[in-house]
Amino acid sequence: MNNILGLSALFLLLAVGVESKTLKYPPLFEGKSLLENPNLRLETKADSINYRLPNETIPIHYDVHLTTRVHSKEEDFSGVVKISINVLADTKSVVLHARELTIDSAQITDNAKVIPCDAVYPTENPTEFLTITPKDGQILTKGKQLVVEITYHGKLRKDNGGFYLSTYKSENGEERWLATTQFESTDARHAFPCYDEPAKRATFSFAFTHGKNYNAICDTDPIGEPEVITGTDMVKTTFKQTTPMSTYITAFIISDFEFTEIFFRGLRQRVYSRPNTKDHQEFALVSASQIIASLDDYFGVEFKDMLPQAKLDQVAVPDFAAGAMENWGLTTYREEYLLYENGKSTAQTQTNIANILGHEDVHQWFGDYVCVEWWTYLWLKESFAQYYSYVSNDNVYPEWDIYQLYIVSEYQGGMAADSGRSPRPMTHYVQTPREISSLYDSISYAKGSAILRMWNHAITEKVFQGGLQKHLKERAFQSAVEEQLFENIQKSAQAQNFPLPYTIDEMMGSWTRQGGHPLLTVERNYEDGSFTVKQQQYFTDSTIEDNNKLFHIPFNYVSGNDSDYSDTKATNYLHDKSVKIDAKLGKEEFLILNKQSTGFYNIKYDTENWKLISKALRRRHFNIHSLNRASLIYDANKLSSSSRLDYDILLDLLSYLESEDDYAPWATANGIFTNFNFYLQGDNTAHTDLKFFIRQITNRVYEKLGASDKTNERHFDHYLRSIIMNLACMGGDENCLKQTTEKLSDFVENNTPIEANLQSSVYCNGLKDADSATFKKVHDYMYASDDLAQRRSLISSLGCAQRKENVETYINSSLDPQAPYRNNEQNGILLATYSRGQVGLEASIEFLNNRYAEYYKLTPGFGKQNVLEADLSSMPAYIVSEDTKKKYDDLLKKIRSDATITLNEKLEENANSRVKSNLDWNAKNSPQVAKWLFNNARGGAGQMVASVFTVLSALFVSRYLM
């Protein structure tokens, strides 16, 4: 499944309105962010019960027949499942899984002899075991091949899990129903009783009885035409047998969707979506065909050879909580992650679609073709899908420069998630559904992808790729554990005579079997030109010390006299606590470790080296790789905010940005400036100086990019323009404020469309002080839109309003039963508001003070966390004053006194910790930042002007005199 965008996805949200299920709006705070997280809605009881199935029997084949009348808007479904099994040890019962099903009957067939059985499925059944026991007490003996047959019925779920109900409205406003699936990790058991563990692979034959005006699609193709059920409005569609596969990657959809198709290199691909959206399918269809071809070549196993039928269907589902799902041969997506409308969809939507297609396509190899032995090794599929989605996108769209996004999204996001007090290892044993779902986080996705990228570069792609190809061929149609992967990479290195200082198991295992990542402290000897690198675990809280962990750390470096960042192979390793490198560096040369930021570690240089780097950036920033420029900013900020580095060094470093034109450094800096703006808003002088500084460093690039898209500009310039517009307007730039206001006014007064890529910035900045008529126009426009990606962006932008009457209108709409919100949209309104400024925060507290009981009754979103509890948990991140904290505390006390409301008992404790962190930051760091701004921004305007002159002079020299 597709995840993730870590801490750095927040950068994207701030820049261009990117949002995923758990993202918070600005200001920027560390936390996980997921495009998918399949099972948070599940089991809540923590206990020591064994949730693993016994191994006395294993499945060989399933025949599943489901009947649904979803076309007639009926929630009930019924089914019959016949499971061919092998008995591995004498047993009295067959134990498998079921969830929320009513068992009508069960029997076991032994060589045509039918054995009536009892089916025991306790109401209080946290393990969700269904036990089938012969009524006559017969022992099922080892070596037997039996068929277990179960008839049952259930209801389509409404929480986007299992076999569930989705709806959409047709062009004439009619509500249409469909039935679809989402089984990862433990939800196949809701559609049919089964052995619902990933390594228990079997073949499947599916059949569906459904409305004749609907179609059924499944992992495989149908056998002939649907069979008409005489005297009814129903037909039966029967599908071909699958290859051996895990239960969680089976899938089926009963709907009236339409498709377009393409044949490329022997593989048929289709994109399905609701009627009247066929003209939005082309980009995904073409992209997926190219991505699959790229992965065929890279992994050395062709997709068309993995399945009985050479087909891959991709479906846009209107209600879909996860970002996407890798069902084998039938991948499913949120609509906004598959449908692209030329001229109306944004570059962000285009990138998301290509990236998520890549993620799910990689899963066809890592996850489907080779599955994980148990969820403990979730990273063996999710980390691969996350990393190689970028690799495949870079192969298909090299002009995008996709690693600009990777460094901000995955690399930085993984570091943020891995920096807490007790970060979990990538390989982490779990058992219960809730524990399993907890693994779908930035460790499995973002960090894991970065670890793969690090070793791919360190030991060369040729060696790493060779190991993956060996692994896929060795484990084909089987499950895997990490040791098997490491062994195959080791064999690849040996086959290519590539020297390794330790075994792959020792080196990569040091990153997968322990949590956290290193902070490298680099100390130079300016007399002899050497430098020393020391390692210790990095914690956001610098008072924590843990010297017990050692990582095998590959690294390389460049100096001021070497601007070649292309060779990213490891030239050195750090295996112990420190290593000395005799580099013969000149005193005036800067030193930068980690070419293209391929190694997963923070780096702290000595003060003099930081100064040399800042000087080099101001002189010719383009001589340092853009990914390294982003990481330098990221590291300096992390070190400053944790009191390991003076803020003067960070702010001096940021000054070079006035000459920066690339997305990744600006996206990184954007979060820092947003934080400063958030924290300094209570200090008028410091806030004024900050705005002046922001105007100074954004002025050149804002003028260069302009306020409109340009023909043939770089892909990420669309992203960059939004960042710069947001920052320039934040800084009070007159041109920015004037242009965004004019664009919004022209839309309101003349219905002049706003360019898709600029909508988020224009709406957000234009709505901050908009009158009620303007606000209503945009609000109504959001209501009328059926583009889910556009609606998401508008809901976010409407939260930017800072006029109290508009804010109150907006948040009250969350409880308006007539408002045309989808459930997940309705639940995001308050967050979009209180995260955007003090006016919205206080209005939200007041709103809940008056209407918390109604708000508490809103339908929970994916994860089943109550909406009120979710917002009360998030609000403290945006509280930076004692006055606002008191209002929040009073609200909590009032709600706690209501016996009808149940909230997390640790809510107050967590809220106090978050607010304390904000207040402590203000007390400790605001004076440092304010002092630098006073001396170097408004107070040092002459210095800034001189700096601009220096940059322009350097650009002139590099362009015309070299």
- Residues with catalytic roles: 360
Find how far residue 172's CA is from the centre of its chain: 35
DSSP 366: B
Residue 369 · residue 476 · CB < 8 Å: yes
Find how far residue 525's CA is from the centre of its chain: 42
CB atoms within 10 A of CB 424: 18
Determine the number of helices (DSSP H) and then strands (DSSP E) in the chain: 30, 29
| Token pair 């960070």: residue | 650
The tokens of 849 are what? 């003070």
The tokens of 392 are what? 């495949």
Beta bridge partners of 271: 260, 314
Classify 502 as helix, strand or coil.
coil
Whole-angstrom Cα distance, residue 833 to residue 798? Answer: 8
Identify the sign of the CA torsion 465, 471, 477, 482: negative
Question: What are the phi and psi torsion angles at 929 (to 5°)?
Answer: -65, -45
Cα dist. 597→383, 400, 593 in Å? 18, 18, 8
Residue 51 · residue 42 · CB < 8 Å: no
Please give the full DSSP string across 172-230, using - where no structure is assigned.
Answer: TS-EEEEEEEE-TTTTHHHHS-B--STT--BEEEEEEEEETTSEEEESS-BSSSPEE-T
Burial 682-717 (b: 16+ CB within 10 A, else e): ebeebbbbbbbbbbbbbbbbbeebebeeeeeebbbb
772-784 and 734-750 helices cross at what angle (nearest 10)? 60
CB atoms within 10 A of CB 126: 15
Please give the single-letter amino acid code of residue 832.
A
Q: What's the Rg (C-alpha) of the chain?
A: 29
Angle at 876 between CA 875 and CA 877, to 5 degrees: 90
Q: Give the total residue count for the chain.
A: 962
144 in the Ramachandran plot: left (φ > 0), alpha (ψ -120 to 50) or beta?
Answer: beta
Parallel/antiparallel/unpaired status of strands 57-68 and 203-211: parallel
Classify 145 as helix, strand or coil.
strand
CB-neighbour burial class of residue 823 (10 A; exposed 0-12, middle 13-18, buried 19+): middle
CB atoms within 10 A of CB 26: 22
Whole-angstrom Cα distance, residue 558 to residue 444? Answer: 31
3-state helix, strand, coil in the chain (%, to 5): 45, 20, 35
Report long-range pairs for 948-954 (Cβ below 8 Å, ≥24 apart).
948/658, 948/696, 948/700, 950/618, 950/619, 951/618, 951/656, 951/658, 951/659, 954/618, 954/619, 954/620, 954/659
| Token pair 């791919």: residue | 456
How many Cα atoms within 13 Å fall on the side-chain side of residue 831?
Answer: 25
DSSP 315: E
Whole-angstrom Cα distance, residue 533 to residue 588? Answer: 19
Residue 194 · residue 162 · CB < 8 Å: no
Find how far residue 175's CA is from the centre of its chain: 30
